[in-house]
A and B are shown apart, each in its own frame.
Chain A
Amino acid sequence: MDLTSSTIKSLHQGLKEKQFSAAEVTEAYLKEIKKRDKDLGAYLAIDRDGALSTAQRVDEIIARGGPIGQLAGIPLAIKDNILIEGRPATAGSKILKDYTAAYDATVVEKLKQENAVLLGKTNLDEFAMGSSTENSGYKITKNPHDLSRVPGGSSGGSAVAVAANMAAGALGSDTGGSIRQPAGFCGVVGLKPTYGAVSRYGLVALASSLDQIGPLTKTVEDAAILFGAIAGHDKNDSTSVLGASYEGLFEPRLEDLRKLTIGIPEEYFVEGLDNEVAESINEVQKSLEGAGFKFKKISLPHTKYALSVYYIILPAEASTNLARYDGIRYGTRGGASNLMNLYEENRGEGFGPEVKRRIILGTFVLSAGYYDAYYSKAQRVRTLVKQDFEEAFKSVDVILAPTAPTPAFKIGEKTTNPLEMYLSDALTLPVNLAGLPGVSVPVKGREDKLPIGFQLIGKPFCEADILGVGRVYEGL
């Protein structure tokens, strides 16, 4: 059995049956990272010792005949905006170059309790602001399917780690598509959970009304396993929801699933959508129809406004969240002559161009003279975007759409024009505005071509529905 191309599910099975040890599994992944990551640039930091010591602990439990959970001894990668105590957490920014996390994010604490092996921290666009991982303050991550192309972003490092067999699964964060879009570009599965399903305690905040942590994996089943491990209420995150349950998450009930009606939103198939992407989604629909699902055309009329709404609300919240990086609490102070200069110089030098652009934009839309015309207006249109989904979900259970308008684009292709870059999130960000769960699943039969992802969008806390439909597709 080739360990690094395996799923979480089959690695767990093998560990349980003692076909191989956890140490062997971890060594195999570390070797793969050593071999491939110099070309791909998925990781910012590797924790070899920590990974091997966890693996050894799992092997001891297995040797004693103790029970192991599904993630015990499974090598995972963590996006570098999620804190692991005692490890660096840069969020892809030079301003956090010397920062060491003082505590574990709740999701990390949960993975540690499961004895998951944490291999290292993955590259991202600075503070998760970007759609290509080209905005990292450290390096550019490359798409393993074509090294001249971007992996998507902002969780590009996590997507590449999984796609290139340098991790069995990974965590990312998704504010406007940052898990789903790179998953689509790299040919892996990426789940953005319902807002409030997973604790964000210990996630470097970007836009707090939109951010969610979620898994990137090789299969939909693995995404369900990882999601199940990190979901749940946390008293340290007041937006995490109490009492959510996900019936059928691990053991989908096929007869119930086939009763679901899937909606196709006409507004997602308009100008700007690549022909190959449109055709692929068509084929997915045909496959699912063949499997017994009913389809229905739906309308989400405010879709075309979602991009504007998002790029007002996100910078507004980000400008507030990033005010803490002022040169006082983090980083180096420098020799500024007074307090104002110290702020301005630290932030001017520590932040990259996209972060500066968005902070200034956020400051603008929140400023006294423009608040009503931009921020307040965007919040109202956000309500309309959400109501579109609520209306649609009266007649369908799941929505099928492309994940991104195009397959992975070339490195450097969109870096000079921010608006063009923003458009690559156009089909994922409405889901964040509405707080819904969405999963990107690779279209099958594209082994020799650039991957294309399709997105399944569900009702709040109906992760089991979208993952269930995804699993049916995978099994076809």
Chain B
Amino acid sequence: MDIKYFAKLARIKLTSGEEKKFSNDLGEVLGHFKQLQEIDTNGVPPMAGGTELRNVFREDEPRQSRLERTGIEQFPEAESDFLKVPKVFE
């Protein structure tokens, strides 16, 4: 596994020590996963969720959120009622 590439995709900065350690660890784990290739899964449907539930609907009614203030208070940077985020476009 190209650990640097996937760490970049995952938006995680690794130290060089971590790169080496994770590369070894995950190499071993991926080796274990090879056993799955021995099973014939032709025609077996994928199990995507934990239940057989189909779509669940409810009325889309507007309601007052209790969380508006706490949401703003929890945010790392805010000014009056606005949330501040870093510059997206250079």
Contact = CB atoms under 8 A, between A and B. Distances in A.
A343 B12 CA distance: 7
Given A239-B49, A347-B13, A367-B9, A102 B25 contact: no
B70 to A, nearest CB: 4
A348 B89 CA distance: 23
Contacts of B41: 377, 380-381, 384
Contact of B29 (A311, A328, A340, A359): A311
A384 B49 contact: no
A326 B11 contact: yes
B12 A380 contact: no
Given A196-B53, A383-B44, A384-B41, A308 B12 contact: no
B67 A102 contact: yes
B47 A363 contact: no
B47 A382 contact: yes
A364 interface: yes
A342 B26 CA distance: 26
A241 B51 contact: yes
B12 A235 contact: no
A454 interface: no
B38 to A, nearest CB: 9
A99 interface: yes
B2 to A, nearest CB: 9
Given A342-B86, A378-B36, A196 B45 contact: no
Contacts of A307: 32
B74 A100 contact: yes
A363 B9 contact: yes
A18 to B, nearest CB: 37
A69 interface: no
B71 interface: yes
A356 B50 contact: no
Contact of B11 (A100, A210, A344): A344
Interface in B26-79: 26, 28-29, 32-33, 35-37, 39, 41, 44-51, 53, 56, 58, 66-67, 70-71, 74-77
A333 B76 contact: yes
Contacts of A305: 35-36, 39
A357 B25 contact: yes
A356 B28 contact: no
Contacts of B58: 235
B90 A338 contact: yes
Interface string A344-383: 1101110101001101111110010000011011111111
Given A209-B50, A239-B50, A384 B86 contact: no
Contacts of A376: 46
Q: Closest 5 CB pairs between A and B?
A: A348-B13, A379-B46, A102-B70, A380-B41, A195-B50
Given A239-B50, A311-B33, A357-B22, 18 more contacts: A209-B50, A239-B49, A241-B53, A326-B11, A328-B76, A339-B86, A340-B11, A349-B13, A353-B22, A363-B6, A364-B26, A378-B36, A379-B47, A379-B48, A417-B25, A418-B25, A418-B28, A419-B29
Interface of A: 99-100, 102-103, 195-196, 208-210, 235, 238-239, 241, 302, 304-305, 307-309, 311-312, 319, 323, 326-333, 336, 338-340, 342-345, 347-349, 351, 353, 356-357, 359-364, 367, 373-374, 376-384, 386, 417-419, 422, 433, 435
12 contacts: A102-B74, A311-B32, A328-B76, A329-B76, A333-B86, A344-B12, A360-B6, A360-B7, A360-B26, A380-B41, A418-B29, A419-B25
